[in-house]
Amino acid sequence: MRVLAIGAHPDDIELQCGGTLAMYARQGREVFMAVSTNGDKGNFDVEPEELARVREAEFRASCAVIGAKPIWLGYEDEMLINDLPARLRFVDAIRSVNPDLVITHGPNDYHPDHRYTHELVWDAVTLAGVGSVKTAHPATDRQVTVYFMDNLGGIAFQPTEFVDITETIALKQEALARHASQTRIFRDLLDVDLHDVVETVGKFRGYQAGCKYAEGFTKVEAWYRGLSRRLLPVGSGESRFIYKTTQNDFDPI
């Protein structure tokens, strides 16, 4: 199984689904993390060109913690739009992985880069399988399932599936710690501790799921994308009452 998470900024994936990706990697799945923008506007006290270099290095270090392969798209922070060249670039990024499932932002997230990433992924997933649309990589050879990850802070997001990340919450926090430029700026400008956000939202979703820590997702229901089995990972101590499934349902496709 190949899993591709696509986030708008270099720390978005870690914040919203880092524990799930770490669990996939632990279970021997191929995990890829793609980032739309270079995050170069993320600090007030570092020049954009330098910050882009810093944030790419932080992202690659974080991927190493999770056990994921990085994909750096490098669009300018705050300036992402859904135009045809960007759409084809996203098509090619998806084709380069040929994933079984894609995890990305939902349509009502707070930041325009998040929402445009959502649009680009949603539009590109369908085109990725159309052979007459030519890019550097060949068309995908399967219908790709799409999941939306949580919004920042869990705001205005109602999960339909949960992943128990109690086993990987520490790895999630370790991966986030690699984004030192952002944990610092959130603390200095907003008095927000991102590690506390991960702890608090993880516990809250855990209460909903019936475990200590969880991440929430919504599976996209669309034509020809239905599944008879679960694709999100199952932890070793997971109760069948949380997901109404068994470990045998989580086989590679």
List domains and CATH numbers for the chain. Answer: 2-249 (3.40.50.10320)
Query: What order of strands is seen across the sheet that includes strand 69-75?
Result: 69-75, 30-37, 2-7, 101-104, 145-149, 214-219, 161-164
For 36-90, write each residue's pLDDT tens digit: 999 999 898 999 999 999 999 999 999 999 999 999 999 999 999 999 999 999 9
For 166-214, write each residue's pLDDT tens digit: 999 999 999 999 999 999 999 998 899 999 999 999 999 999 999 999 9
CA angle at 65 for the pair 61 and 66, rounded to the nearest 5°: 120
What tokens appear for 231 in the block?
């694709």
Residue 88: burial class (beta carbons within 10 Å; 0-12, 13-18, 19+):
middle
Distance CA 47, CA 40 (A): 8
**Stretch 6-14: mean pLDDT, rounded?**
98
What tokens appear for 50 in the block?
């330098």
Which parts of the chain fold into alpha helices (H)? 12-26, 48-66, 84-97, 112-127, 169-177, 180-190, 194-209, 240-243
For position 208, what pLDDT does the model report? 97
For position 239, what pLDDT does the model report? 47
Distance CA 133, CA 136 (A): 10
For 100-136, write each residue's pLDDT tens digit: 999 999 999 999 999 999 999 999 999 999 999 999 9
Q: Are 136 and 92 in contact (CB under 8 A)?
A: yes
Amino acid at 138: P
